[in-house]
Structures are given as C-alpha cells and as structure tokens.
Structure 1
Amino acid sequence: MKAYIVGGAVRDRLLGLPVRDHDWVVVGTTPKEMLDAGFLPVGKDFPVFLHPKTQEEYALARTERKTAPGYHGFSFHAAPDVTLNDDLARRDLTINAMAEDEHGNVIDPYHGQADLEARVLRHVSPAFAEDPVRILRLARFAARFGFETAPETQALMRQMVEAGEVDALVAERVWQELGKGLMEDNPSRMFRVLRDCGALARLIPELDALAGVPQRADYHPEIDTFEHVMLVLDTAARLNAPLPVRFAALCHDFGKALTPADILPRHHGHDARGEKPVLALCERLRVPTDCRDLARLVTLYHIIIHQAGQLRPATVLKLFKETDALRRPERFGQLLLACVADVRGRLHRENADYPQADWLTAMLTAARAVDAGAIALAQQDKRQIPAAVDAVRVAAIAACKDSLDLTCDAH
C-alpha cells in the first residue's frame, strides 16, 4: 500500500497558492485492507475512504470506462494492480494529473508542470471527451487562473458540443460549476471559454444571444452587449460581490437580445423584456431562490435606480415596496451593488461615481424610520392606515431627498 497526494493540492503548491484540501490516491491495496486499517468508507460509485484521524479523502487508484452518455455514464475499476499512472491518466487536465509522494517528489507523467509554466489548460487524453462536465471545469479553471486553452483541447470541446454531450448534463451539475466559476476573480473568462467552444449557446442561450447586439456608444463605449455584460460581471467580482449579485450581473441585460431591430441601438423596455428569459434560465438550471429573485429585481429595476435623482418621492416609495426593500434592506443593498457594477462595467468608466446608491440608501433609511405602528393607532378608520403610513413615508423620503446633492449623470 502506498499513498500519494494528487490533483489540486499538487497544482496549487506548485503555483504558490494556499493548499486547503488534500486528496489522496492509494495504490496496491483493497477495500478490505483500508477498512482493516481504520478508514471509513464514503464512496458510492467507487472506493473512497476517510482517514480515521485527518478525515481527508483517500481513493483507491482506479480506471474508468464510458458506458452511457452524460455525467453518470461511467463504470469504474479499482484493484491492487491499477497503477498511479493509470489513475492519473483518467484525469481531465495535465495540471490536475500530477501526484506527490511522501518525500515531496512530483510525479508528472503528462507534463503538467510545463503547462503550468506556459499557463495552458490541456486535456490529458481523448478520454476528456467522455465527460461533458470537464468543459465546465476547464472554463472555471480559466476564470481562476487566467490560463489559455490549448488549441487541440478547444477543438475537442467543440466536437463534444457538436456531438450533443453538453445536452446530457443535469441542471444541478451545471449550476454547481457555474456558481463556482462566478465566484472566481475573473468570472468572465469562464463564459468566454464556453462561448468559444459553442457550449454557451447550449447552456445559456439567453446570454449567448447578446453577442453582436449593439448599444448606444454614448452610454456604452464597448458597444457590444455581451462585452458589456462580461465587464459588469468582472466589476462585480472586483467589488467582492456575493453570488446573487454576480448572477444578477450576468443576467441583467437579457432583454436586449429581444429588442426590436427598428429601434437598435436603443433598448427602450429591455428591463421588462428581460424578466421572462431570466426566469426561464433559472427554472431550467434550478438556480437557488436568492439568486433567481435578485436577478429578476436587477433586471426589472436597474434602469429606474440609475435615474434615482429624477424620481419623485412617491415613485421612490413605490420602488421600495415593489422590491420589498422596507422589509429586506440587505437584499436592496445587493440590488444597488449590482447597479454599481452595471455603471462601472463599461470601457473607461471603471471608477465612475454612483451616488444613486447612497441616495437611495439614505431615503430607504428615512422611510424605514417611520413609526407605522403609531400612525396606525392614530387612525380611527383602519382602512386608511396604509394610505396614512405611505403619506408619512413619502414625506420622510421628500425631506431626505431635499437634503441631498442630487447632481449626477443618471446613467
């Protein structure tokens, strides 16, 4: 029995990055011997065990064979005669197909170290094509490390897409990888890689459709809507935004793909047009509720929020009520953060001021400070309570608005 650290831990150590988790491969043993040594079984499809003290995962060296389409269509073989190189050969990328022995020596049969130095993502073998999740993983690694895709790997991914392998992916697995990719420092790279190989059109056609859609150059020097969305997404990452904000940034302009050709490059009404495709994507990929709900709100309300300085107090209160800001100010804060990313996600406007966020935050604070209970007690006709509370809140918003300097380019 011999154990090796494998995969991401080896890669990250060579890159000088923090190593958070260790995965181990064990060669020359059987499940019974692992159990006898005190390891706890956790694997369902193939033998994986937890170390009795460290709780790190130890997997028996194994090979795999494609038996059916999709992510689950594999059979596995684990036995004492499976070598370390056999196990590494089944891995996705050369930078993930390295191992380290107990002395710190790197075993690198597929030249992963050279690809780390060259900043290239390259598949280990043609078996890469057997698992469509690997396209998503490669795209995520592109977002994490900023590496380029090897031409032969790019060609292989295109072949996989054309063969329909991506269509066999289950929604939960797609969202799992997309969610991780969205949280990288440069998430736009993930979606560019997916678009380049054709996978984006299969997985998120609503986003892919934005490529080539023009915008007004005075508002959007980058012109192309897809490019704008990528800039907004990376801006959200620079703002250290949480996942719901980043997902909303990805979706907020879906309606521009549906703009009638006769009004381009203007996009009047794209906010309302965008709601249906956002909800369709969320249903298809089973997106978590918090991400879905914020994406919908950002899609519907980012234009009116950009115009905050021009809104009447009653309209501001209507905005607060429709977005449930009075009850959920934290989520409204995320909505404002997505709007900041939208304005700064444009060429040469990366550091643009966005006082609208401060204005609306102040007005929301004023509206929430109104004692609705006291107003309700003072009303003889209980049917008048909502109108009475609204009137006081509008007055509070107006007073707050009068105290602010509302000079700003609204968009």
Structure 2
Amino acid sequence: MQIYKVGGAVRDRLLGIPVTDIDRVVVGATTEEMLAQGFRPVGADFPVFLHPKTGEEYALARTERKSGRGYGGFTFHASPEVTLEEDLIRRDLTINAMAEDDQQNLTDPYHGQRDLEARILRHVSPAFAEDPLRVLRVARFAARYAGLGFSVAAETLELMRQLSESGELEALTAERSWKEISRALMEDQPQVFIQVLRDCGALKVLMPEVDALFGVPQPEVHHPEIDSGIHTLSVLEQSALHKQPLTVRWACLLHDLGKGLTPEEEWPRHIAHEHKGLKLIKAVNERFKAPKDCQELALLVGQYHTHGHRALELKASTLLELLQSFDVYRRPQRFEEFIIACEMDARGRKGLEQRSYPQADYLRGAASVARGVAVQPLLEKGFKGPELGEALKRERLKALKAYKDSAST
C-alpha cells in the first residue's frame, strides 16, 4: 500500500500558495485492507475512506469510463492493480494531475509542473471531453489563477468548445452547476470565469441572457465602455476587488439583463430595461436553483438599481416606496447589499472606477431616518391596525422630506 498527496495540495505547494485541502490517493490496497486498518467508508459511488484518527479523506486509486450523459455518467473501477499514473490520467488538468509521497518526491507523468511554470491550464487527456462539468471547472481555475498570469491552452479551449456544442452541458444538474458557478464568482477575478465561458461558447448555453449583452451598446456619455457585456464584466470585477459577498456578486452579474431585450432600433437607449429584465433574472435564478437570498437581491437590484443612481433626485414619496420594497425595518442588511451593488454598478464603467458615489451614504441616511420613526407615540394616540400602518407611513414620509431638505441645503 502506497499513499500519495494528489491534486490541489501538490499544485498549490508548488505555486507557493497556502494549501487548504489535502486529497490523498491509496495505491495497491483493497477495501477490505482499508477497513482492517480502521478506515471508515464514505460515499456510495466510489471507495473513499476517512482516516480513523484525523478524519481526512483517502480514496483508492481508480479508473473511470464514460457510461452515460452528464457529470454522473461514469462507471468507476478501483482495485490494487490500478497504478498511480492510471489514476492521475482521469483528472481534468495537468496541474491537477501530480502526486507526491511523504518525502515530497514528485510524480508528474503528464507534465503538470512544466505547465505550472508556463502558466497554462491544459487538459490531461482527450477523456477531458467526456465530462461537461470540466468546462465550468477550467473556467473557475482561470478565474482563480488569472492574477498569476494563467490562461487556458488553445487546444483545451477547443475541447471546451466541442463540449459546449455537443449538448452535454444541458445534462448538468442545477445543483452541480450552481456549486461551480458560486465558487467561481467568489474567486479573485470572477469576470474571467464569465469571459472564458463566453470564449468557448458555454455562456450562450448556460446563461444566454448574459451572453446576449455582448455587442449591445449603451450611451457613451454614461458608459464610456459602451458594450453592455463588457460593463457587466467590469461590475463583477469591481465586486471582487471590493471583497463583496456572493449575493452582491450574483446581483452584479444579472442586474442589466433587460438590455439584451432592447430592439436594435432603440439602441443605445434602454427604456424600462429594469422592468423588462426581471423575467430574465427570474429564469436564471430558477435554472440554477440559486439560494433564496441571492435570488431576492438579484431581482431587487435589477428592478431598482437606477433608483439607486438617482437617489439624490428622488421625491421623498419614491424614496419611501424604495425603502418599503426592501423591508428595511426588518431586513436592513439586504438594503445595504443593494446599495453596495449599485455602487459596484457605478464603478464598473471605463475610467470611472474611482469616482465617488455619494448616493450610498444618502441612501443609508434615508434608511436610518425611516427606521428612526417611533411607533409608541402613535400607539399612545390610539392608532391601531391598518390605521397605525398608515399613520406610521405618514410620519416616515414627513421625516424623509425633512431629511431630503436638509441634504439639499
């Protein structure tokens, strides 16, 4: 029995970055031998075991064969005869197909170290094209390591293009797709993930609503970058630069989908794109079964982001309606994330990345004023039920008018 560290643990050590997860593969062992040593089996698909003391995962070396469509369409074979090289060849990228023993002796049959040095993401074997999930994984690795100068090898991008055109991507489950998408959006350069998907034709399969934004112009006076797709990538980039949570990044990706529906004769204007985009945002949310908080914020940002940009001009009554829509009294954090998404949208414009966004503090102040209206004096006046709600609304409107007047002087 021989045990090796494999995959990301080896890759990241060679890159000189912190190793977070350690995967181990066991060569020359049977399930019975693992159980006899106290390892506990987990998972039904292939033999993975937990170490009796550390709880870390150890997998028996295995081969795999395509047996159906999609990510799950594989049969696995694990036995003591499977070699380390046979186990490594089934992996996606050469930089993930290296192994090392306890003395850090490297086994690198597919030249992963060479590709690490060349900053290339390259597939290990033609079997890469059998697993559609690898399209998303490679794009995610491109987003993770773009800052180190990595790019996707031309021949790997071509295989990803073939996979995108094959219909295999449609076989991915919403859960598997969302897992990759959400992880990719939290990488340092999530816009690279979207760009790589577009480069290989996967974006128009997975998110045609986002793909449709590319080539759609916007008024240059407001958007020096002009192209709606480029703007979306820039907004996503800003959200990562400012370390925003997944909810904000997802909303940034989907906020302008309505612009993809604007008839060409109306370009570069996009009248009512906020409202038009809601059905598209809802469709993308449902396609990937995004978490509820991501879904809600994306829809609200899509509908109201231009309200955010025009905050200083809004009438007090419109401002109150905006606050009510977000339920700022019970869910203040959601409104804060909306404000942040609006700021990322404003910064995601060519040459305007550093421009101040006074709307943010103005909206925060308005929310604070509305929340500060006390209910007790109204109760003491005898208001109750629907009448109490209306009285509270009137008092909040009065407070917002005073806030707006003081802000403009």
TM range (shorter): over 0.9
Residue 273 (1) aligns with residue 273 (2): no
Query: Which SS does the other structure have where 1:240 is aligned?
Result: coil
Range with bigger deviation, 344-353 or 386-395: 386-395
1:96 equivalent to 2:96? Answer yes
Q: What residue is the counterpart of 1:155 in the other structure?
A: 158
Q: Is the 8 A contact 1:366 1:397 kept in 2?
A: yes
Residues 1:259 and 1:48: Cα distance change in structure 2 (over 3 Å): same
Structure 2 CA distance for partners of 1:129 and 1:253, relative to 1, 3 Å: same
**Per-residue CA distance 1:22-53 (angstroms, 9 max, x = gap):** 11000001001001101110021110001111
After TM superposition, which residue ranges in structure 1, 4 or more long, deviate above 4 angstroms? 380-383
Shift in Å, 1:118: 1.1
Q: Match for residue 139 of structure 1?
A: 139
In 1, Cα distance between equivalents of 2:267 and 2:141: 36
CA distance in 2, matches of 1:124, 1:377: 74
> In the alignment, is residue 317 of structure 1 matched against residue 320 of structure 2?
yes
1:225-240 map, 5 Å: 225-240=228-243
Which residue of 386, 389, 392 maps to 1:386? 389
Q: Given the alignment of the two structures, is residue 249 of structure 1 paired with residue 249 of structure 2, yes or no? A: no
Partners of 1:66 and 1:216 lie apart in 2 by 49
Aligned to 1:221: 224
The answer to whether the 8 Å contact 2:50/2:56 transfers is yes
Distance in 1 between the 2:386 and 2:365 partners?
Answer: 29
Q: Report the counterpart of residue 296 of structure 2 in structure 1.
A: 293
> Larger deviation: 396-405 or 359-368?
396-405
Q: Does 1:307 align with 2:313?
A: no
Q: Which amino acid aligns with 1:22?
A: I
Deviations 1:300-337 (A, max 9, x none): 00001110101111111111011222221111000000
Q: Matches of 1:163 and 1:366 in 2, distance apart?
A: 56
Contact 2:5 2:100 in 1 (8 A): yes
Identity, in percent, stands at: 55
> Could you tell me how far apart the structure 2 residues matched to 1:143 and 1:264 are?
32
Equivalent position of 1:409 in the other structure: none
Question: 1:16: which partner in 2?
Answer: 16
| Alpha-carbon spacing, 1:326–1:79, altered in 2? closer, same or farther (3 Å) | same
Residue 73 of structure 1 corresponds to 73
Please report how far the alpha carbon of residue 377 of structure 1 lies from its aligned counterpart in structure 2 after TM superposition. 3.3
Q: State the secondary structure of the residue aligned to 1:403.
A: helix
2:184 alignment partner, one of 150, 172, 181: 181
What is the letter of the counterpart of residue 13 of structure 1?
A: R
Equivalent of residue 373 in structure 2, options 370, 375, 380:
370
Return the alpha-carbon distance in structure 1 between the equivalents of residues 380 and 268 of structure 2: 53
SS at match of 2:115: helix
Q: Which amino acid aligns with 1:241?
A: Q
2:344 alignment partner in structure 1: 341
CA distance in 2, matches of 1:331, 1:380: 29
Taking the aligned partners of 1:308 and 1:380, their CA distance within structure 2 comes to 31
Match of 1:46 in 2: 46
Aligned to 2:211: 208
Structure 2 alignment gaps of length 5 or more:
none
Displacement after TM superposition at 1:383 (Å)? 4.5
Give the root-mean-square deviation of aligned CA atoms: 1.2
Structure-2 residue corresponding to 1:258: 261
Structure 2 residue matching 1:80: 3-state secondary structure? coil
Alignment check: 8 A CA contact 2:139 2:196 kept: yes
- How does the TM-score come out when normalised to structure 1? 0.97
CA deviation digits over 1:248-268, x for unaligned, max 9?
A: 000000000011222210112
**TM norm structure 2:** 0.97
Amino acid at match of 2:78: A
Amino acid at match of 2:82: V
* Distance in 1 between residues matched to 2:204 and 2:115, nearest whole Å: 29
Report the alpha carbon displacement of residue 381 of structure 1 after superposing the two structures with TM: 7.2
Retained in 1: the 8 A contact 2:250–2:298?
A: yes
Q: Contact 1:376–1:389 at 8 Å: present in 2 too?
A: no
Pairwise CA distance, 1:405: 5.3
> Which SS does the other structure have where 1:26 is aligned?
strand
Listed as ranges, the gaps of 5+ residues in structure 1 are 407-411
Where in structure 2 are the equivalents of 1:115-134 lying within 5 Å?
115-134=115-134
Q: How far does residue 382 in structure 1 lie from its aligned partner after superposition?
A: 5.1
> How many equivalent pairs are there?
406
Give, in whole Å, the separation in 2 of the partners of 1:383 and 1:111: 72
Q: Counterpart amino acid of 1:175? A: W
CA distance in 2, matches of 1:383, 1:127: 65
